[in-house]
Amino acid sequence: MQKGQKRLVAIFAILVLGIALISVAPTIYSHMSGPGVKVTGFRHDHAKPASVDLDGEWKVTKGKKPNTSAVGFTFFEILPGERKTTSGATEDVSGEGQVKKGQLTEALVTVDMTDIVTDKMRRDVNVRRKLLDTDKFPEASFELTKPADLAALPDDGTPGKLTLTGDMIIHGEKKEITHEFDAIRDGRTILISGDVPINRLDFGVETPEFIAAKVDEEGELNIRLHLERR
């Protein structure tokens, strides 16, 4: 084979290899990543009637599985020809609230964003450092700005609805949100959970430079809180 022909064969082989790599890249990526760790709503199969008064100080506590306090996110990852969800979560959540005459008048919840995990260590690092920039913004928070009616919740161990309005701070940016959460009075505790729609650009979270995937702008915060009377 002449030198020119060999060169053409080599170039052709490189092109074929490149096309093959491009075509299988999404598949390789999908095998390297999973759906992540998602915070789900509370379970109330064995909920008991309320056994304490509402009025007083309430504290966010760890709780017991499956109703531990946890906060996380769910976003779409966009790949060529594929769209999949990815979730991350942390149980490093603290907070407290004040109830007067059945009204939640004050509440502050703080989340340690440096502890968020998905199901892949490499993605954990990307989420913390590139997406959420936790070295600079290690915490997220929610502070109630309007009273919420806890007295409207059933006291017989059945779930109800609770609308909360407050300032959400993520990535150093503040935005007021209003969302209707699921809530239940269970014995000496109150459980609150919900999926809050967000646009990451509202909080200044820019598109990270992931190799194989782009993170969608629209997503949700997944919240589950376990509160106990002090």
Are 107 and 97 a contacting pair, CB within 8 Å?
yes
pLDDT tens digits along 140-199: 999 999 999 999 999 999 999 999 999 999 999 999 999 999 999 999 999 999 999 999
Report the Cα–Cα distance between both ends of the chain, in Å, rounded.
86
Tell me the residue type at 182: D
Q: Residue 99: beta bridge partners?
A: 56, 104
Segments in the chain below pLDDT 70? 1-34, 79-81, 208-213
Are 117 and 71 contacting, i.e. CB atoms less than 8 angstroms apart?
no
Closest CA to 196 of 140, 119, 137: 140
Q: State residue 215's pLDDT score.
A: 76
Among candidate residues 62, 56, 141, the one with its CA nearest the CA of residue 105: 56
**Whole-number pLDDT of residue 212:** 55
pLDDT, residue 30, reads: 39
* pLDDT the model gives residue 208: 61
For residue 148 the two structure tokens come to 């919420």
Q: What is the pLDDT of residue 123?
A: 73
Query: DSSP code of 91?
Result: -
**Alpha-carbon 43 to chain mean position:** 18
CA dist., res. 141 & res. 208, Å (int): 22
Within a 10 A sphere around the Cβ of 206, how many other Cβ atoms? 12
The pTM is what? 0.81
Q: Are 222 and 191 in contact (CB under 8 A)?
A: no
Per the listing, tokens 């304490």 go with 52
10 Å Cβ neighbour count for 79?
18
